[in-house]
C-alpha cells in the first residue's frame, strides 16, 4: 500500500479578508464563480442543487495557490488543468457539484480519495467538514499538505498511500469523494461509508466513457445509485 504519512492541519478559514491586500486574482475568482453558476444552471438542472454556501466558498478559496507557478495565470478558468505527475486539478464546476452532492457541512466527516492539488479538500474544509484525504503520489501529497497548512484551514488530515483501501482507522464516514476514476466502486470504500452516508465517485474506463455516480448507503448496507452526469477523470492510480 506504499508509505503512509499523516498530518493534522489547523483550521482552514480561507477568509477573503486574509488575502484582500495582495490578492491580484480576486476579480478573476469572481468571474469564475459567475461562470460556474451559469454552467450549473444549464447542466441537467443541477443548478437547483448547488447551495449558495458553496458558491461563497468558491469565492473565498484561493484556487491559484494550489497550482504550479507556471499556470497560475489560468487558475480561475472553469477547466481542469495539469498539476504534474499525470494528474489534474478538477474543473471548478465539478468541484462545486461534488462538494454539494456529498453533503459537505459543519461537522460532516468526509474521506477524499485523491488529494491531488488539495483544492477539493480545501473546499470541503471551507464548508466546515472534517476532511481525511489520501494521495498515492508522494510529491503531490506532500505539496498539498504544505499548501493547506500555509493557507489556514479546517481540520484536514492527509495521508500518502493507496486510497482504494480507504482510511479504516477513521471510518465510518458521512461522505466519501473520489477524485479519480476506477473501473468499479471499491468495496473497502463502501464498507467505510456510514449508513445514510453518500459517496460521489466517477466510474469508467481510462480514456473511455465515465459516469459521475451519487451513491447512498441504506441501513441494510445496500446502495442506491444515481448517475449524475458524464465526466472525464484521470484513472485511479493503484499501489504496486
| Side-chain-side CA neighbours of residue 108 (13 Å) | 27
Separation of alpha carbons 49 and 45, rounded Å: 8
Largest Cα span, the chain: 52
Considering only CA atoms, which of 154, 152, 80, 153 is closest in space to residue 117? 80
Local structure of residue 183 (DSSP, 8 states): S
Distance CA 65, CA 63 (A): 6
CA distance 187 to 217: 12
Helix axes 52-60, 119-126, angle to 10 degrees: 120
Instruction: Based on the residue annotation, tell me whether 117 is a catalytic residue of this protein.
Output: no
Catalytic residue among 6, 11, 51, 90: 90
Would you name the residues annotated as active-site residues? 90
Amino acid at each position: 500500500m506504499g508509505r503512509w504519512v499523516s498530518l493534522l492541519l489547523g483550521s482552514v478559514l480561507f477568509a477573503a479578508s486574509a488575502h484582500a491586500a495582495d490578492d491580484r486574482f480576486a476579480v478573476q475568482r469572481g468571474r469564475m464563480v459567475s461562470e460556474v453558476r451559469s454552467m450549473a444552471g444549464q447542466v441537467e438542472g443541477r443548478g437547483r442543487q448547488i447551495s449558495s454556501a458553496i458558491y461563497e466558498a468558491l469565492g473565498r478559496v484561493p484556487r491559484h495557490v494550489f497550482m504550479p507557478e507556471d499556470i497560475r495565470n489560468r487558475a480561475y478558468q472553469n477547466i481542469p488543468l495539469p498539476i504534474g505527475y499525470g494528474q489534474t486539478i478538477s474543473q471548478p464546476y465539478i468541484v462545486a457539484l461534488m462538494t454539494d452532492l456529498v453533503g459537505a457541512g459543519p461537522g460532516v466527516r468526509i474521506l477524499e480519495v485523491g488529494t491531488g492539488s488539495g483544492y477539493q479538500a480545501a473546499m470541503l474544509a471551507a464548508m466546515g467538514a472534517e476532511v481525511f484525504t489520501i494521495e498515492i503520489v508522494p510529491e503531490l501529497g506532500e505539496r498539498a499538505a504544505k499548501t493547506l497548512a500555509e493557507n489556514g484551514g479546517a481540520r484536514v488530515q492527509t495521508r500518502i498511500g493507496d486510497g482504494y483501501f480507504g482510511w479504516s482507522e477513521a471510518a465510518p464516514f458521512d461522505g466519501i469523494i473520489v477524485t479519480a476514476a476506477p473501473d468499479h466502486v471499491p468495496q473497502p470504500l463502501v464498507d467505510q461509508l456510514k449508513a445514510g452516508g453518500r459517496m460521489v465517485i466517477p466510474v469508467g474506463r481510462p480514456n473511455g466513457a465515465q459516469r459521475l455516480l451519487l451513491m447512498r448507503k441504506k441501513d441494510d448496507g445496500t446502495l442506491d445509485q444515481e448517475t449524475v452526469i458524464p465526466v472525464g477523470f484521470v484513472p485511479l492510480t493503484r499501489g504496486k
